[in-house]
Amino acid sequence: MMPAYVPNPVAAFVGGGTPIDGGRHFRDGRRIFGDGKTWRGFFAGVAAGIIMGMLQILAYDAAGITRLPELTLPVVCLLSFGALLGDLVKSFFKRRLGKDRGAPWPIADQYDLVIGPFVLLLLLEYTWVVSYITLPILFWIIIITPLLHRAVNIIGYIAGIKDVPW
């Protein structure tokens, strides 16, 4: 899951610049995504996730690790891209609900970076999912994701990258 966990904090760290929605509003009068979703952050985050996945592939191959799911380049790309796609979809719905940037949205804030990749993986790499994502692995993803999300957000807040610690 590291290729899915890395993109969001990298996007927050190097983001800024042109918003993905170009400042446009949806038919409800609210921004489509908001200023926090930028092209620079999106591409940097996806690239960082892919680099992380490539490093994992190299490490797995060098160490001969067989107990963890085998990563392939397509899977790594879907994990990385899907994490930020999930974040964009969540932001779209967050704006529709009238929630401002940085406003907490429990559960959605923690799992968007997992749901996005899994939707893409189920659509495009179904055999990989059923081969490698067992119930114990899924259980640990469900447990670890909000813990990592919270820890990274606190670090980002302390470092001045995020305005809120959630």
Mapped onto helix, strand or coil, the DSSP state of residue 28 is coil
CA distance 55 to 74: 14
Which residues lie closer than 8 Å to 109 by C-beta, 6 or more apart?
90, 149, 166
Mean residue pLDDT across the chain = 93
Structural tokens at position 40: 């620079």
Structural tokens at position 44: 């940097």
Share of the chain above pLDDT 90, in %: 79
At 134 the pLDDT is 92
CA distance 24 to 31: 6
Kindly report, residue by residue over 25-78, the tens digit of the pLDDT: 999 999 999 999 999 999 999 999 999 999 999 988 787 776 667 899 999 999
In this prediction the pTM is 0.90
Cα torsion 144, 146, 149, 154 to 10°: value is: -110
Give the dihedral sign, CA 149/14/38/6.
negative
